[in-house]
Amino acid sequence: MDRLAALLSVVASAPRLKETKMIVKASGNVTPPLSSNNNFTCDVPGCKYSTPRSDSMKTHNALKHGVNVTWYKCDVENCTHKAKQLSDINRHKAHVHDIGARWFPCSEEGCEYSSKNPGNLRNHMANVHFINVVWHHCQQEGCVFKAKSSGHLKSHLANKHLIGVKWHSCDRPGCTHRAKSAGDLRKHRANIHNIDVVWHFCPEKGCDYKAKEAGQISKHKAHVHNINVKWHYCLSGTNSSRCKFKAKSAGHIRNHMQNKHGIGVVFQPCSVVGCDYKAKQPCELSRHMKRNHPELPPSPTSDNLTTTT
């Protein structure tokens, strides 16, 4: 009687087992397993990352710690760029090689700016056209700095007030360089020590220019080939008497406003006693020192600088 009951139990369960098997086969996707305690913890010393998914842990280990990395390489000729995610390769090809790029043009009349990133377009609208600007103010006593992005404010706090700085030191023997961001350290290692250099090539036919930073390619294309030029406009005067000067870099605009309109000038006086010379640019002061006081090195200090607005 017991054996009969057991057989009936097996027969009754058979259709359910078959149904379950068919469902798994039909879906084709199996959800990665969860840990028994619903939590995978990174075992790299000092890392506190945890997740309930095994695939998320594998991705974390690859991206953050370089464990079991699957490298994806750019298939453009002469390009040595590689990334840990296929999406990064697609983004690289769009930004560097203009392959599969989607452009976001500025909607302001007469402005020819366009960007491959909607965030860059928002920054352009705020920085150039003052549209939807959200000011971020420095809260340090006596500091009147303000920025149009929280990132710029964060950089200001780190660079000027040493707040929130995390130093990144170069590990090359004998090099004492340190940077305030991992990105700056990578640039230093590439530019100074030629470590992990990723060359970026100008895509224009017949142009052999290459650079270690994608930003330099963008500047080169704008200044040499007039491609995707981001114009910076002089802000002096009112709408009716606005200065029409424009430049391809913010630095040129600052120099123009200082030299032509006397706006934002930081005068740097000659350090020689009895000499009344003062310059608007460090290079001008350096030339003055070489011509008029060759026996002394240029020594402008921030203690005796005067600013005009």
pLDDT (average), residues 115-137: 87
Q: Are 9 and 15 in contact (CB under 8 A)?
A: no
The answer to whether 69 and 58 are in contact (CB under 8 A) is: no
Q: Which residue has the tokens 């200044």?
A: 223
Q: Is the pLDDT of residue 225 over 90?
A: yes
What is the per-residue pLDDT for 271? Answer: 83
Please compute Rg for the chain using Cα positions: 30
Q: Which two tokens stand for residue 76?
A: 């453009």
pTM of the entire predicted model: 0.38
Q: Which pLDDT does position 209 carry in this prediction?
A: 94
pLDDT at 20 over 50: no
pLDDT of residue 206: 92
| CB distance 189 to 170 below 8 Å | yes
Q: How many helices (H) does the chain have, and how many strands (E)?
A: 9, 17
